[in-house]
Amino acid sequence: MQEKVKYLIIGQGIVGTWLSYFLQEKGISYKVVNDEKISSASSVASGVMNPVTGRRIVQTWMIESVLPFAVDSYQAFQKNESVEIIKEAPIVLIHPSEQMYESFEYRLTHDNVYLSKNNSEQWNTMFNTPYNSGQINSCYWIDLVAFLKLGRLKMKAHYINAHFDYKDMTLLEKGIQWKNIIADHIIFCDGINSMQNPYFKTLPFAPNKGEALILKIEGLPAKNIYKNNVAIVPWEKDLFWVGSTFEWSYSDSLPSIAFKEKMISSLEQFLKLPYTIVDHLVGIRPANTERRPFVGLHPKYPQVGICNGMGTKGCSLAPYFTDQLIAHIEQGTPIEKEADINRFAALLS
């Protein structure tokens, strides 16, 4: 028997979860197809929303719009639920060098919104702090393990655990058909798998490998995120996520001994507390050369859309741009120019 919906979503990472959630909230019909055997970047990400970036500690792209929207969205998502998805968690910056200390001190008095001084002495029993420490405020930690699990529960009646194969899809004059489902729009939220997508494979994807260790650290408070050359982020239960790397060139997507050794060596210099390693994760970020998302409908096949390319910032960008995509399709409002895939119209058609 055929089933008709407005949207068919491929993928239930951070992006697919937000798209489904907003459609559900608006009472718009949808189905989500997600292959649980495919590993997703969202399931290994640390879940940090940090308003600043880089060695110069500048504000990240569109943070003044994206961050408040994301915070409100995660809070609404967890409302009336028994799990806490979003927590405010200031980043304690344990400066790794004189240069980074100076960069922080400079930013404190130049265009500063998010940085503040802190008392290094309070961290001396836990970390080596030869170059002092500072703090980044308005940072949040998203419990992505709980978020993805709760998302799946919220969309239970619309969720299909299956592999989507292009050969099972037919373009209709106004819509698409996949197996027994007819939809007005199909939206690809399938992370790096969009690189094989016949409609979108010409987009300038630049996948990026990242690894992390999961540690049990005795006596470290889980109310902060800690950053030196590596980041230590609260994880589920009483564990911590430690990472990461940004590899643009890699030969496999497996955990590497080199990464593990590098983390152990960094922790030796930085962390004073005893720890044990309980897991080693790896994921591929759906990044791109422009570091801007890919959002919108195909210029030639408007029944086919994409929401992807979130790179290192899926937690903060996904709520904002999935909401924008729905408004674009339903009300014809524009998508942020720098994120709109129309900038690649020539490439796509």
Ligand X SMILES: Cc1cc2nc3c(=O)[nH]c(=O)nc-3n(C[C@H](O)[C@H](O)[C@H](O)COP(=O)(O)OP(=O)(O)OC[C@H]3O[C@@H](n4cnc5c(N)ncnc54)[C@H](O)[C@@H]3O)c2cc1C
Task: Give the number of residues in contact with ligand X, rule: CB under 6 A.
Answer: 40
By the 10 Å C-beta count (0-12 exposed, 13-18 middle, 19+ buried), 232 is classed as buried
Instruction: Pick the closer one to ligand X by CB: 257 or 346.
Output: 257
Among 73, 129, 197, 308, binds ligand X (CB under 6 A): 308
Cross-strand bridge partners of residue 78: none
- DSSP track, 196-254: G-TTTTTS-B--EEEEEEEEEETT--TTSEEESSSEEEE-STT-EEEE---BSS-S-SS
Tokens of 216: 């049990």
Check binding of 345 to ligand X (CB under 6 A): no
Please state, in angstroms and rounded to a whole number, the distance separating the CA atoms of residues 28 and 330. Answer: 10
Check binding of 89 to ligand X (CB under 6 A): no
Residue whose C-beta lies closest to ligand X = 13
Check binding of 292 to ligand X (CB under 6 A): no
Please give the single-letter amino acid code of residue 148.
L
Check binding of 305 to ligand X (CB under 6 A): no
Check binding of 34 to ligand X (CB under 6 A): yes
Choices 69-77, 94-102, 278-286, 319-327; region in contact with ligand X by CB under 6 A: 278-286
Tokens of 206: 């630049």
Choices 186-194, 222-230, 263-271, 324-332; region in contact with ligand X by CB under 6 A: 186-194
Among 7, 16, 20, 270, binds ligand X (CB under 6 A): 16
Backbone angles phi, psi at 336, to 5 degrees: -45, 125
Cross-strand bridge partners of residue 294: 308
The SS3 call for residue 344 is helix
Instruction: Pick the closer one to ligand X by CB: 48 or 94.
Output: 48
Of residues 240 through 269, those in contact with ligand X by CB under 6 A are 243-244
Binding mask 203-242 for ligand X (x = CB under 6 A): -------x-x------------------------------
Of residues 101 through 130, those in contact with ligand X by CB under 6 A are none
Please state, in angstroms and rounded to a whole number, the distance separating the CA atoms of residues 246 and 271. Answer: 22
Task: Dihedral sign for Cα 56, 58, 60, 62, please.
Answer: negative
Among 189, 225, 325, 335, binds ligand X (CB under 6 A): 189
- Provide, rounded to whole angstroms, the least separation between the CB of residue 94 and ligand X: 18
- Per DSSP, which regions of 95-202 are E strands? 115-117, 133-136, 140-142, 159-161, 169-172, 175-178, 181-188
- Provide, rounded to whole angstroms, the least separation between the CB of residue 347 and ligand X: 20
Choices 41-49, 77-85, 101-109, 119-127; region in contact with ligand X by CB under 6 A: 41-49
Check binding of 42 to ligand X (CB under 6 A): yes
Contacts of 21 (CB under 8 A, 6+ apart): 77, 151, 154, 155
Among 190, 323, 336, 340, binds ligand X (CB under 6 A): 190
Please state, in angstroms and rounded to a whole number, the distance separating the CA atoms of residues 256 and 243. Answer: 13
How many Cβ atoms from other residues are within 10 Å of residue 262's Cβ? 15
Among 10, 93, 150, 214, binds ligand X (CB under 6 A): 10
Instruction: Pick the closer one to ligand X by CB: 33 or 341.
Output: 33
- Provide, rounded to whole angstroms, the least separation between the CB of residue 140 and ligand X: 10
| 144-154 vs 63-78: helix crossing angle, rounded to 10 | 60
Binding mask 145-164 for ligand X (x = CB under 6 A): ------------------xx
Question: Which residue, among 94, 206, 77, 91, has the nearest Cα to 154 in the 3D structure?
Answer: 77
* Interface positions with ligand X (CB under 6 A): 10-16, 33-35, 38, 40-42, 44-48, 163-164, 189-191, 193, 210, 212, 243-244, 283, 285-286, 308, 310-316
